Structure 1
């Protein structure tokens, strides 16, 4: 009699326990994505929305975009596993990899990121070359930006210009769109930024190119990538990588995502791609 009562009771307790554990597991099945804040928060959210929806379908779990306040916060978020994947610039990847002891894995980059460039822009007729920047005010983007600071600074140094000695003032706008605004408003005579943001502003007619123009485009370098922590389970990492690499402009969904990401397509990436950026950062005393 006791046995017949206890057996169903045990089964009930076991079922409740499994349901509870299942609820916890389900609650934890949130995949968090972040990105360096190189553009305005509204633009970053707009770019992330269709990608988040796409990844939810591919990963079979809830995906959330988690904005961060600055570049350093994106590094700390992935290093400390507060997020699962981050959109880094080349320099932020190098910083995160150093900060984590080599535990960052870049899984995908845009085809465009194999030969990325920065542009220097101005509204001053007298500025025609990098040498003409002497004694002028120049704005970079964020101090941790690859295309808005590190690589432009590296090419300035190669041209024999030391921003701290040769310019009247060096400013940091915080983001590429803010650099354009600073130059357009006359707050600074010149600025350095990501070429794809500049081209987007030109295409969307958000900048008057009769007043603000590019006067120098840098040589190419590797830049942005999607990065995950090495502790991510391999099956999840492979599923995620495949989801990104299979995006195609042949489908309406893929076309929308890739256009918002300003990408032809995503291709595999690797840590060795960013050795040049690491060397530039060390040479400039930024790492």
Structure 2
């Protein structure tokens, strides 16, 4: 075969390759994003709006944020291809990764998430240690929350306090801000939530720390991350990662986004970082 005879075959190969890439581009015209509902839906959308606009510019595609009804819906949405990227807590990431057979990839996390913490709060003068929670009414956040349930339960059990048998009653508020409202309103004697939401509520004067006070803070653990499926177009995945890592607090845009995300900066992360979360979930018999 002459070199001229080979030319149509080469053209066909090139055309096929272009068609494949074109198909990928057509299929990924919209990035569908969500987050675990650990705060009110309006607050989650407010926090995401500038980030969404930034990602649209970096990716060259539309970015849509869709609130979900509960933590389980965020897991199922990503696994079942209804969502492309989700803001997970450490526990929801583990749930999604286990449910998918290891096909969920954590891209980035805030630097703060390498040593995240939970706080225990109360209005009662009689509660000053974890041991004082025995016989009391107590609320966690969501059942699938890392910082509002799993890790607080883990540290309670480590202190020889079984919430299911040692407390008078336990409840699940569904969200961190709802936990504070329940404690402040006297519906429960105490509750637990993540330190980031607690600090935000105090700073915005939505809670009076003289009335609702922190009496215990957990040690640090890995928590939140932005996750995608392993089958995401690798070009899009790299652009997403680069976009998060490029956020710069010295620019007006970067400053606004990072402040809303309560982050100093985003850093790369990996599934191995969440092995301790998985172990804690299995020890507490919370991983199904």
**TM-score, normalisation: structure 1:** 0.91
Alpha-carbon displacement from aligned partner over 1:116-166 (angstroms, at most 9, x marks no partner)? 000000000010000000000010000000000000000000000000000
User: Unaligned 5+ residue runs, structure 1?
Assistant: 1-21
Find the residue that maps to 2:106 and give its secondary structure: strand
User: What's the CA shift for 1:24?
Assistant: 11
Alpha-carbon displacement from aligned partner over 1:46-85 (angstroms, at most 9, x marks no partner)? 0010011000000000100011000000000001111110
Find the residue that maps to 2:150 and give its secondary structure: helix
1:75 counterpart residue number: 75
Find the residue that maps to 1:196 and give its secondary structure: helix
Q: Aligned equivalents of 1:266 and 1:96: distance in 2?
A: 21
8 A Cα contact 2:24 2:233, kept in partner: no
Q: Aligned equivalents of 2:210 and 2:57: distance in 1?
A: 45
Find the residue that maps to 1:67 and give its secondary structure: coil
In the TM superposition, 1:85-234 aligns within 5 A as: 85-234=85-234
The alignment status of 1:37 with 2:28, answered yes or no, reads: no
User: What's the CA shift for 1:235?
Assistant: 1.1
User: Unaligned 5+ residue runs, structure 2?
Assistant: 1-21
In the superposition, relative to structure 1, how do residues 171 and 272 fare at CA in structure 2: closer, same or farther (>3 Å)? same
In the TM superposition, 1:233-252 aligns within 5 A as: 233-252=233-252
The alignment status of 1:265 with 2:261, answered yes or no, reads: no
User: What's the CA shift for 1:255?
Assistant: 0.5
Q: Aligned equivalents of 1:23 and 1:50: distance in 2?
A: 29
1:275 counterpart residue number: 275
User: What's the CA shift for 1:240?
Assistant: 0.6
Instruction: Give every structure 1 segment of 4 or more consecutive aligned residues whose post-TM-superposition deviation is greater than 6 Å.
Output: 22-25
Alpha-carbon displacement from aligned partner over 1:9-38 (angstroms, at most 9, x marks no partner)? xxxxxxxxxxxxx89965850111100000
**TM-score, normalisation: structure 2:** 0.91
Find the residue that maps to 2:33 and give its secondary structure: strand
Aligned residues: 266
In the superposition, relative to structure 1, how do residues 148 and 24 fare at CA in structure 2: closer, same or farther (>3 Å)? closer
Q: Aligned equivalents of 2:191 and 2:28: distance in 1?
A: 43
Q: Aligned equivalents of 1:167 and 1:241: distance in 2?
A: 44
Find the residue that maps to 2:144 and give its secondary structure: coil
Q: Aligned equivalents of 2:249 and 2:24: distance in 1?
A: 38
